[in-house]
Structure 1
């Protein structure tokens, strides 16, 4: 044992004399090391916080818990969930409360799926808030040059504060100097304008600056409404437009991505309206584009399809089956696929961020046979009720139809005709069959048994066998015994085509016994033997 150890361990067991002492020292050493490692990993679990994407955070928690399980200290389901929620920010507190108040606890994969979905919702909400704030940003002239220490109203006190009365830009004293004098157009006096003159006779007279500010405010509000309406119109368009000139798929809705990762490259996307520097491996998120662009080249190569363009529609067909998979129509001079919706997938094991991917499925399908297969070949009455409840339009002449799978599944074997053969005496017909081998031999080593059933009386004789080759000897013994006891001869023996019965042919011919074989794949002629086997 000492020769197989490393030098560092030899020092620890230097004072040991017997083998059990060496094992005891090593056990104590590794046990203490394991306890220290467990404590260290649990401290790391308590200190892990979400500083990046949720998938990275969940992956850290899972790696640490799997490490604890590998060293013999697995964490329970409740502890695993507590570790996950301990490192989350306050915005996930409502989700934690709802999970803790549930009567049936969630599993870890369910918690991970809920957190990933919640993160996606929060990111989408933040994006909408930022877009709304950007759409509402505009200058308000009224808020400028009016009141406060920064406005220049009338006479000032010097020192650059510009405080006092008045509504004109830098009208008072500034830095100890005197401002320009203003002459009233009504009384020809200096120091005030016609709008502030006490001799003013028209009370409906408005300040020119106020008129200008009001006009600018109305213009600004109109621009804000137009910008907000344009932004909402762009967000509402979630359809996909095929583009033969696009090198990749582009989307303006980040919710179309199942995983996100910031792009660090320098590639550019060129469209008819603008140039945007943004790129991702698969679907590229470009918030400034107004349409979701579907690259025809990538779409056809990735999905093994081809696209046919017609004056009013475009059709996507499979390269192998030539089946129509997707149809698009013409809208505002562009071909559009309006029946594509994203499907996000979450696995039980959180994978690290990699390539940005998204799955799309055709949600509008009126193929009756396909829905019939998806719903486990249900009845046409139930199928029609489901189609109506799901608002799926189907032509009346397409249902019902003949389903080959349903016909095969509902087919059954026709009954045999009733036999007209009547046996009047014993031993006119003897049925025989062999059962075995038994998985457990008997005390005497028997693993098979053979039965002989009289067709007239249904009386059964049973013999135990150690091997199938003993069947002929048993039949000879049975023949001698039964013919002597009943004083009759066996006329017919009915068996299957097993090899153990093929050796009977010579003996049966010598004794004038007819050998009748059961027709292949017809079990009705063998039911008597089967019933005897089941009863025994």
Structure 2
């Protein structure tokens, strides 16, 4: 027997003796306080009440007064006949350690096991917060580490968790978590966070219900199988009379798996994968995330996507062309107003003479009205100035390039000058 096992046995036996001594002393005190010396009236006795399950409330049934009592003192055989009731169910034919109502397996049996004493002594037998003890009597999963709850919310109720020693553990949070295994995901729902609990308790019934599986417990090992396929989810050896489930032994690290399975690539390929960063940023990312690299040497060759993506638009030089007379070149553009006018006009067409910079502005309700507007403008301006329009410069908008407009310009001998695609700056005068 190891020192920890011996210490556990002593602590458990000491707790048993302390509970029995406290019960007898409290009963004796109640007996002596029933009747004082020199009083001739009979003592009043209260009725016994059976406590509720899980609460450490038990009133002792008073023994009846007999003729052998003297000055309110009990007879010598009354302590031998009156047994202290069970602290859980209130019956007198057994003690609390033998009560079948106990949910915690660690407290079953007349003599407390080493697990019970280890719980009382706060033993360091299990250091890992990811270790759960499989419990067939627990209704919910219980944990002391709030980090085990992936989804959590504060508990607003006043109920407590009843444990084997009759005390109630306060619940501060409730939540759930999911453990990712190589073959499936295991869900732990309705977890209670009790900061004062010594070990994490895994409810077997709740676990099997949420994951559609079953537990198999033997004297040396345990395993968890899927009800449908029979595949083994978890397995491990028993430790003493406990079945610890070490989740960190089964959970896979997806990030590490990807890094190990990745194929080493050159720095140039990682430069393209990461969106063409600069060399300093690239080496920092490769080092911090331990990406598989075949060579850390960055080639000094120019990257064409970097040159195209980071290059600036060159400025467009002003044209040095000079017109010699009016109507030699007319600039035009259509502007869309964000606000509709009172008369319902939304578009405006502008005609500018390149020689005199004289401008004409006409409102339009629709872009399709541009053709009729230009025909009227041509007739009026040519008649007023006694000359013909030689060239007409616009952008490549659809209102200027449709067949009807282009055919009209061709039939009247007007040369149509168009800007390059997506280069509206060339029509800067209009």
For the aligned pair, the TM-score class normalised by the smaller chain equals: 0.3 to 0.5
> TM-score, with normalisation over the residues of structure 2?
0.41
Structure ranking higher in strand proportion: 2
Relative contact order higher in (CA < 8 Å, ≥ 6 apart): 2
Structure ranking higher in helix proportion: 1
> TM-score, with normalisation over the residues of structure 1?
0.34
